[in-house]
Amino acid sequence: MSATVLDGNKIAAEIRAEVASEVEKLMEVGMRPGLAVILVGHNPASEIYVRGKVKSSEEVGIYSEKHTPPENVTTEELLELVIGLNLRDEIDGILVQLPLPPQVDSKKVLMAVDPAKDVDGFHPMNVGFLSTQRPGLVPCTPAGVMEILKRSNVPVAGREAVVVGRSDIVGKPVAMLLINGNATVTVCHSKTHDLPAVCRRADILVAAIGRAGMITADFVKPGATVIDVGMNKVTDPEEFRRLFAGNVKREESFKLKGSTLVGDVHPRVAEVAGAITPVPGGVGPLTIAMLMSNTVRSARLRRGNTVSELSRA
């Protein structure tokens, strides 16, 4: 029996529709949420991501602007740009697209973003709010993982959850969100002893390790829900065969393009799991949908009193 596929595109579309309706209500009281994206230089992958973010903003009615400093920008120049955006009231979200060039102190730049406008949810103040269950901005991908579980009616409270990966961007915040949802959470990493055995305890298994098809069927308890956060490009024919041998459709596409995308979960896990997110089309679409949601949330948190006053007027 094959696992139920949790459709990230469908869930992301639902969230975007809700955000668009929220933006419409805010605009009725004279307030349009605004997002500023900073994209340094010409990294092709970053350019694609930013294009997607700007396009999504337009679709849901959020005002957006793109700042494109040159590749040789200094830390001081970027700090000046961020501080300027912090001071503008019509900008509710500031997003610094990573990676930044080597001469820039990335941590310094990210720390300079006003926590109230930190729609990526990476600022230590927002991390603190998350860990102490106070209202703040939550990292987009982990927030998306929780939306997939909630909207797919996967119970979290009282369940055993295992997170593979401990990054500040996904692993740690998703573990905190699961704890806040009353799951019993284990976080695994490269030093975990007998990783497959630990993963097999999970009712909910979140894979965010960044290694193509690393989580195989022997890591998964039959019937578990598997959330695959990974996005890996496979170009090696041998690696491709390990993952997709016998998948005629994928083989044709691989011959044509010379590459394919795969998550951190081996495709055959679908034969054991109860539910699974596909790659692509699983967690990925949720990341941008949650960025839109965070921008509106930031507008409400920052300008909440103004909204209430305008609503009453």
Q: List active site positions.
A: 53, 97, 120
Other beta carbons within 10 Å of 216: 16
**In whole angstroms, how far apart are CA 54 and each of 66, 67, 280?**
8, 11, 20
| Contact (Cβ atoms closer than 8 angstroms) between residue 246 and residue 297 | no
| Tokens describing residue 21 | 């309706």
**Exposed e or buried b per residue across 40-67, where buried means at least 16 C-beta atoms within 10 angstroms of its C-beta:** bbebeebeebbeebbebbeebbbbbebb
Q: Dihedral sign for Cα 208, 209, 214, 220, please.
A: negative
Other beta carbons within 10 Å of 238: 7
Distance CA 179, CA 172 (A): 11
Other beta carbons within 10 Å of 38: 22
| Helix (H) or strand (E) run with residue 37 in it | strand 34-38
| Contact (Cβ atoms closer than 8 angstroms) between residue 269 and residue 276 | yes
| Tokens describing residue 174 | 């998703």
